[in-house]
Amino acid sequence: MAEIVIVPDAAAAGALVADEILRLVAANPETVLGLATGSTPLPVYEALRPRLADTDVSLVQGFALDEYVGIDPSHPESYRSVIAREVVEPLGLDPRRIRVPDGSLEGIEHAGDDYERAILEAGGIDLQLLGIGTDGHIGFNEPGSSFASLTRVKTLTEQTRDDNARFFDSVEAVPRHCITQGLGTILRARHLVLLAFGEGKAQAVAGAVEGPLTASLPGSAIQLHPHATVVVDEAAASRLAHTDYYRYTFANKPAWQGL
C-alpha cells in the first residue's frame, strides 16, 4: 500500500515534498525529477524556490509527464511553455537538461520511443510528481489505459478536455490528442509522489488508494509501486476509510526514512 500523508492544506504538502526533493538533490546533484503540470504541483515548485536558492541545480535533470499533440510549443498552455514558466525559470534549472515529450505532428509516430530512450539514458527518474484527475487519470492515461503502457499518443476524454478548458479560451481550443508517459513508464520511477487537494479529488483518491486495482481507474496503478507516497489535504482525504491509521503511521515513522 502507498504511504498516505494527510496535511492541513496545499502549502503544507508543498513544503513537505519540497524538503524531500531538496534532500535528494543534496545527496545527488544529478537527480532526475519527473515533472507534473497543472495547478496541483504548484505548491511544491513554490516551496522549492527558496529552498534551492543556495543549492547548485545545474546538473538536475527533469522529464515532463506529457504534452499536447499539434500545439505550438510557444503557446502559453503547451506544457513546454508551462514547465519553462513554472519550474525551469523560477528554480534556476538548466533548460537544456529538462525534457518534454515532442508533440509535433512531424515525427509523432516515434516520439514516444524517443522519450522512453531519453529517460533510460538519463538513468531513470528518481522522484516522479503526479496529480490525479477527477476520473482517476494520472498523466494523460485515461480510464482503460494499460498498466504496462509506455510513452505514447492518446485521445483525451471529453471530461479531461472540460477539466483543462479553464486554461484555454474555450473547450474547443483544447487539443484532442496528447503524448504521455505510460503507466508502465511512471511505475519505473524510483519514488512516486501523488498530490491531491480539494473535495473534488476525494473520490478519485479513495479509489486509487483503497479501491480495487483496475484500468478503469488508472491512478490505482500506484498500488503496484514499492515506494509510493500520496500527500492529500483534509478535503481530498475525506472519503478514505482508514485515516486514523494513516495519521498514526506517519506520526510514528522513523525520521531517517524520509518521505
Residue type at position 111: A
Catalytic pick among 66, 126, 163, 233: 66
According to the model, what pLDDT value does residue 257 have? 87
Share of residues in the chain with pLDDT > 90 (%): 89
Q: Does position 166 have pLDDT exceeding 90, yes or no?
A: no
For the record, the C-alpha cell of 72 comes out as: 505550438
According to the model, what pLDDT value does residue 110 have? 96
Angle among Cα 173, 46, 100 to the nearest 5 degrees reads 45
The 3-state DSSP class for residue 46 equals helix
Q: Note if 162 is an active site residue.
A: no
Q: Note if 137 is an active site residue.
A: yes
CATH number of the domain enclosing 98: 3.40.50.1360
pLDDT tier at 202, thresholds 50, 70, 90: very high
Q: Does position 230 have pLDDT exceeding 90, yes or no?
A: yes
pLDDT tier at 258, thresholds 50, 70, 90: confident
Domain of residue 171, residue span: 3-253
Best CA proximity match to 34, nearest among 145, 155, 180: 180
According to the model, what pLDDT value does residue 160 have? 80
Catalytic pick among 86, 142, 163, 233: 142
According to the model, what pLDDT value does residue 164 have? 83
Asked if residues 156 and 66 have their Cβ atoms less than 8 Å apart, the reply is no
In angstroms, rounded to a whole number, what is the distance separating the alpha carbons of residues 85 and 168?
16
For the record, the C-alpha cell of 122 comes out as: 538519463
In a domain, 258, yes or no: no
CB atoms within 10 A of CB 53: 10
Angle among Cα 258, 141, 234 to the nearest 5 degrees reads 45
Catalytic pick among 67, 86, 116, 137: 137
Asked if residues 151 and 179 have their Cβ atoms less than 8 Å apart, the reply is yes
The 3-state DSSP class for residue 234 equals coil
According to the model, what pLDDT value does residue 180 have? 97
According to the model, what pLDDT value does residue 163 have? 81
137-146 pLDDT, tens digit each: 999 998 999 9
In a domain, 68, yes or no: yes
In a domain, 138, yes or no: yes
Mean pLDDT computed over 59-70: 97
According to the model, what pLDDT value does residue 4 have? 98
Asked if residues 179 and 114 have their Cβ atoms less than 8 Å apart, the reply is no
pLDDT tier at 167, thresholds 50, 70, 90: confident
Asked if residues 218 and 134 have their Cβ atoms less than 8 Å apart, the reply is no
Q: How many domains does the chain have?
A: 1
Q: 168-177 burial, b for 16+ CB within 10 Å, e for fewer? A: eeeeeebbeb
According to the model, what pLDDT value does residue 233 have? 98
In a domain, 259, yes or no: no
In a domain, 235, yes or no: yes
Q: Does position 113 have pLDDT exceeding 90, yes or no?
A: yes
Q: Note if 199 is an active site residue.
A: no
Q: 57-80 burial, b for 16+ CB within 10 Å, e for fewer? A: beebbbbbbbbbbebeeeeebbbb
- How high is the mean pLDDT of the chain? 95
Catalytic pick among 116, 126, 135, 233: 135
Asked if residues 37 and 65 have their Cβ atoms less than 8 Å apart, the reply is yes
145-165 pLDDT, tens digit each: 999 999 999 998 887 888 888
In a domain, 20, yes or no: yes
Q: Note if 135 is an active site residue.
A: yes
DSSP 8-state secondary structure symbol assigned to residue 177: E
